[in-house]
Amino acid sequence: MENIITSKDNPVIKLYQKLSSSKKERLQYGLFVLEGLRITEDALKEDSGITHLILTKRAEEKFGQQLFQADLRDTKTIVISNELGNRIASTDTTQGVFAICRIPHMPDVLHLISDGGRFVVLSGLQDPGNVGMIIRTADALGLDGVIMSGSCELFSPKVIRSTMGSVFRMRIAVENDEDVLFAALAENSVTASAAVIDKDALPVTECKFEGSQAVFIGNEGNGLSPETAARCSRKIIIPMHGNINSLNAAMAAGILMWELKK
């Protein structure tokens, strides 16, 4: 008979909760967590190193058949009570599908940009929802890579959830040292444009994007730092209207990526 785990002291459940709440634990174990059917399916499809699949009894009945079609040889599956599922869930209406996943090997920035292409650099972005939405949009629009610099942690549950699975498909590099980042861009002849709110900046409608390009997006509240903007080859602006002087950072990034790629 199947063993249904009900105790929060189960070692896998304890690990899940640690990874869910602590960046330090994620880094130490090299693991992160997923919650939700669709993102777990995406991870299974992309062969993304799921070590543990955790299903509530209800989720096993409802989704087991479709999930068990994936290759689960390297995955340990455990079934937990619905109550325990509610306890570890981050949402009020959980589907009861959870996973622990190995943090994948990520390319360094030099490797990411070495073949050229169109890139977005997230410089100092702190809102996990914005970061996730930008990665999702970069995937949808076909960017060649996302570079994170001084931004929030990629493997936090909130970022992962907002990427809607694109974190498993998009090429992403983290480079917090701007000297290294700008040297890599220069070495690969990637033109760096700073997205700013500045009347003297070049309207993106007049921008020519030729060759390899990287657009720097700044922090939600404060924009791109003047120091970072000054290191870019040019400043660009999305022409805006009326009383509002700033789009949401993810929306601004989306429009700029659209212009980069179309």
Among 30, 116, 142, 226, binds a copy of itself (CB under 8 A): 142
Question: Among 85, 165, 218, 223, which residue sits at the site for a copy of itself (rule: CB under 8 A)?
Answer: 165
124: contact with a copy of itself by CB under 8 A: no
156 counts as binding a copy of itself under rule CB under 8 A: no
Question: Would you count residue 202 as binding a copy of itself (CB under 8 A)?
Answer: no
Q: Is 199 in the site for a copy of itself (CB under 8 A)?
A: no
Quick check: 51 and 101 in contact, CB under 8 A? Answer: yes
- Nearer to a copy of itself among residue 24 and residue 241 (C-beta): 241
- Tell me the site size for a copy of itself, rule CB under 8 A: 29
Among 136, 161, 171, 235, binds a copy of itself (CB under 8 A): 136
Piece of 6-14, 70-78, 107-115, 244-252 that binds a copy of itself (CB under 8 A):
244-252
Q: Using the rule CB under 8 A, which residue among 24, 210, 222, 242 binds a copy of itself? A: 242
Rule CB under 8 A: say whether 235 interacts with a copy of itself: no
Q: Does 228 bind a copy of itself (CB under 8 A)?
A: no
| Cα–Cα distance for residue pair 249/126, rounded to 1 Å | 10
> In angstroms, what is the minimal distance from the CB of 205 to a copy of itself?
5
Would you tell me the crossing angle of helices 128-141 and 249-261 to the nearest 10 degrees?
Answer: 20
Q: What is the closest distance, in whole angstroms, from the C-beta atom of residue 240 to a copy of itself in the complex?
A: 5
| Structure-block tokens of residue 259 | 């212009």
Q: Which of 154, 196, 207, 250 binds a copy of itself (CB under 8 A)?
A: 250
Pair of tokens at residue 32: 């992160």
28 vs 205, beta carbon nearer a copy of itself:
205
Nearer to a copy of itself, 103 or 255 (CB): 255
Determine if 70 is a binding residue for a copy of itself (CB under 8 A).
no
Q: Are 93 and 59 in contact (CB under 8 A)?
A: no
Q: Which residues bind a copy of itself (CB under 8 A)?
A: 133, 136-137, 139-142, 164-166, 169, 205, 238-244, 246-248, 250-251, 254-255, 258, 261-262
